[in-house]
Amino acid sequence: MGLKTSKRPFNIAIIGGGIAGLTTALFLHHFCPPGSIEINIYEQAEQYREIGAGINLGVNATKLLHHIGLGDKINAIAGSKDGVFFTLRRWDNSEEITTIYSNDSGKIRQAAVSRAELLQVLLDAIKERKAATLHTKKKCRSVTKTKSAIKITFTDNTTATSSLLIAADGIHSPIRNQYLPHNPPLYSGKIVYRGLLPFSALPTPWPIQSHHVMWIGPNKHLLVYPISHGETQTLNFVACITTPEESLGDLKESWSATCPRAELERDFGDCDGIVQELIRLLPEEVSKWKINDREAAEGWVFEQGRVVLVGDAGHPMVPHQSAGAGQAVEDGFVVGRAMGEFLRREDGKLEEWMGVYERVRMPRANKVQETSRGAGYLYQMQAESMKGMSYDESVPILRDTVQERMKWIWEEELERVFEEERGRLVRKVEVEEGRGGGGCFCM
C-alpha cells in the first residue's frame, strides 16, 4: 500500500497548547510519514505555560514518551523516587496503614514532575523537531464544517481552516461544549488546596520512611510527593476535603483561584503535627479550587472524523488517581498511530481511523474516569463498602483495596490494543473491497 498522494501536506489544527496538545503534536510528527502533515497549534494564552503544581506520570505514559525519545529528559526533571508510590497514614497520628511500592529502578519508570518543566520539555521538542507551528493569543470560539475542511473561528474574529481539528483545550473546551452541549459540569462534593514547598524548608529529619505520603482521614485526605530535581526539588502539596456546595460561595473550577492559608488550616486543623508544620510552611495565599465532575461523553469524534477530542476536552476526570495527564499522553499516542496508518494506506477513511482512536481509548479512559471518582471516596473513607462503619472499622477495607487498584492503569499494553483494533479495520476494508483477509500490515 502506498502513501496517499496529495499536492499539499494534510493540515492538522490542534486547539490548546498544554500537555495534551503538545504530546499529540509530537506523536503525530513521529508516526506520520515525513512531509505528509502540517500541524498548527493554537494556544489562547500569550505564551505557552502550565498553571498548577505537580503531576504524576505512570509507566503507562512514560514508556510512550520514551518511544519518541523524551524518556531521559522526563527522568531528568522527575522528583526523587524511593521505590514507594505512596505510604498511606492515619490523618491524626501518621500511623502507617499500608505502603504501595513501585519499581523505580528501571529506565522506564514513574515520573512525578512539575507541570511547567514537563511543558518546557515538550515545547523544546516541538521546536527542535520542527513538529508544528506555534500560535498564541488564539482562543477558539466555534468550529464549522465546510465541504472539505473545518473552519475555526477565534474570539479575535480571525479564522483558520484544517482538514483535521484536534481539541486539546481542556475541561472548559468550547469545542467540547459545542458538540456535547448536554454534558455540563457537576460539583463532585470536594475541593482541593494546593501548594509547593522547597525541600530546603522541610522538617529534618523527615519523620516518615518516604516523602511520598498520603494522610487518610474521615471526609478528607492530603498527599505530598517530590517533583523536580536537584536544587529545584520541591514537595508538591495537595489537600482535598468534602465540602457542601452551598458553602463555596463563588469558588470556581480554576487552578488560578486562591484563598488565605487560614482556610486550609481550619479544614485540616485536626491532622497530625507534621501536617500542621507543612501547612504553616506554605505561603499566606494558597491555591484553592472546586473539583467538578462530568458524565462520560457519548463520543469524541465528530464531523466524519474531522473533529476529535483529546485529553480533558474528551474525558475530564477528578484528580484522585493522578491519572489524567497519563490518559492525555495515551490519547496522543493513539491519534498519532491512527493518523500514520491513515496516511500510509490507499484504503480507509479518516472517519474510520479516528474511530479506531475512539474505540481503543474510550473504554479505558471511561474506566479511569470512573475509578478516579471511586478513589476520592475510598481515600476519604466514603466508599460504599464502608457505609455505616467507623474510621477504624474501615481501615482494613482501605488496606485491602489500595494495593492492586493502580496496576491495571500502569500495565496497559496500549500498542497491542491498538494493533488488535487496527487489524479489525484492515480486515473490514479488505472484505468491503473484495480482497479477502490475510496479510500483515505491521509498521
What would the pLDDT profile of 263-287 be if each residue is shown by its tens digit? 999 999 999 999 999 999 999 999 9
Mean pLDDT of the region 226-247: 91
**pLDDT digits 0-9 by tens, 47-59:** 988 766 899 999 9
pLDDT at 7 over 90: no
pLDDT score, position 80: 81
pLDDT score, position 327: 97
pLDDT bracket for residue 72 (50, 70, 90):
very high
What are the Cα distances from residue 1, in Å, to 79, 93, 423, 437? Answer: 45, 65, 15, 15
> How do strand 213-217 and strand 186-198 relate by DSSP bridges?
unpaired
The contacts of residue 308 (CB under 8 Å, 6+ apart) are 164, 165, 166, 167, 300, 301, 302, 335, 354, 357
**pLDDT digits 0-9 by tens, 400-419:** 999 888 889 998 899 999 99
**pLDDT digits 0-9 by tens, 305-333:** 999 999 999 999 999 999 999 999 999 99
What rounded mean pLDDT belongs to the chain?
Answer: 93
| Secondary structure of the chain as H, E, C letters | CCCCCCCCCEEEEEECCCHHHHHHHHHHHHHCCCCCEEEEEECCCCCCCCCCCEEEECHHHHHHHHHCCCHHHHHHHCCCCCCEEEEEEECCCCCEEEEEECCCCCCCCCEEEEHHHHHHHHHHHHHHHCCCEEECCCCEEEEEECCCCEEEEECCCCEEEECEEEECCCCCCHHHHHHCCCCCCEEEEEEEEEEEEEHHHCCCCCCCCCCCEEEEECCEEEEEEEECCHHHCEEEEEEEEECCHHHCCCCCCCCCCEEEHHHHHHHCCCCCHHHHHHHHHCCCEEEEEEEEECCCCCCCEECCCCEEECHHHCCCCCCCCCCHHHHHHHHHHHHHHHHHHHHHCCCCCHHHHHHHHHHHHHHHHHHHHHHHHHHHHHCCCCCHHHCCCCHHHHHHHHHHHHCCCCHHHHCCCHHHHHHHHHHHHHHHHHHHCCCCCCCCCCC
Mean pLDDT of the region 189-202: 95
pLDDT score, position 3: 56
pLDDT at 439 over 50: no
**pLDDT digits 0-9 by tens, 115-156:** 999 999 999 999 999 999 999 999 999 999 998 899 999 999
pLDDT at 441 over 50: no
pLDDT score, position 203: 94
Mean pLDDT of the region 324-343: 97
Mean pLDDT of the region 5-13: 82
Question: What pTM value is reported for the model?
Answer: 0.94
The contacts of residue 84 (CB under 8 Å, 6+ apart) are 99, 100, 101, 102, 209, 210, 212
pLDDT more than 70, % of the chain? 96
